[in-house]
Amino acid sequence: MTARGRFITLEGIDGAGKSSHVEFLRDRLRERCANIVVTREPGGTPFGEGLRAAVLHHPASALAEALAMFAARSAHIDAVIGPALASGAWVLCDRFSDSTYAYQCGGRGLEPAAFEALERLVHPALQPDATLLFDLDPALAAQRQAARGAAADKFERERADFFRRVREAYLERARRDPRRIHVIDAGGELGAVRERLASALRGALA
């Protein structure tokens, strides 16, 4: 029987820099498994990408956002994540349910009980094996986003207070689950962050 693959997720506030390290991580993971599936949330399927377009650009309540995220996630697990893990592939996913906890509960004030109910419904038996959390002061993250110069989506237009709450929700979750969630100081030069990331990855996969 094929052993289940490993499920690794990337998390952090917008602009913390996680997407800049996806190729590097893919290469490191290939040293452990030939078949690496890289995917993202919200998205990863045509259905999920459709919801992504809606949720990133149209106002909605915290509950409506969470429902959309979990609807996209359900399709993503069915079509991509579940089959890949079952085939023995390793999955590297840019954001997963920790994002919903941080953004919709931490940022928007959704009751954690609603989040937990959705999590139980959508993926009762699936959790990431390891989560790499890029932690950065929201003011620095905003500077990085501004330097990039791309058009901002509705989350990126949120105020500093919102990102402080999102960051705190992430860190609180990491304190509660330190074996799974590895916090990486995302400040400083890309090379320095990469070194810390490589070290965290070794710890996560040990």
- List contacts with ligand Z5A (CB under 6 A): 12, 14-20, 41-42, 56, 69, 95, 99-100, 103-104, 144, 148, 153, 155-156, 189-190, 193
For ligand Z5A, the closer CB: 30 or 148: 148
Q: Where are the alpha helices (DSSP H) in 96-159?
A: 97-99, 112-122, 138-148
| Rounded CA separation 117/124 (Å) | 10
Q: Where are the alpha helices (DSSP H) in 7-99?
A: 22-30, 46-57, 62-76, 82-86, 97-99
Least CB distance from residue 198 to ligand Z5A, whole Å?
14
| Rounded CA separation 7/183 (Å) | 17
For ligand Z5A, the closer CB: 6 or 40: 40
Least CB distance from residue 54 to ligand Z5A, whole Å?
11
Instruction: Please list, in sequence order, all residues whose beta carbon lies within 8 angstroms of the beta carbon of residue 121, skipping any fewer than 6 positions away.
Output: 70
For ligand Z5A, the closer CB: 20 or 127: 20
| Rounded CA separation 3/35 (Å) | 13
For ligand Z5A, the closer CB: 56 or 88: 56
Note whether 26 and 38 are within 8 A (CB). Answer: yes
Least CB distance from residue 21 to ligand Z5A, whole Å?
7
For ligand Z5A, the closer CB: 14 or 90: 14
Least CB distance from residue 115 to ligand Z5A, whole Å?
10
Least CB distance from residue 155 to ligand Z5A, whole Å?
3
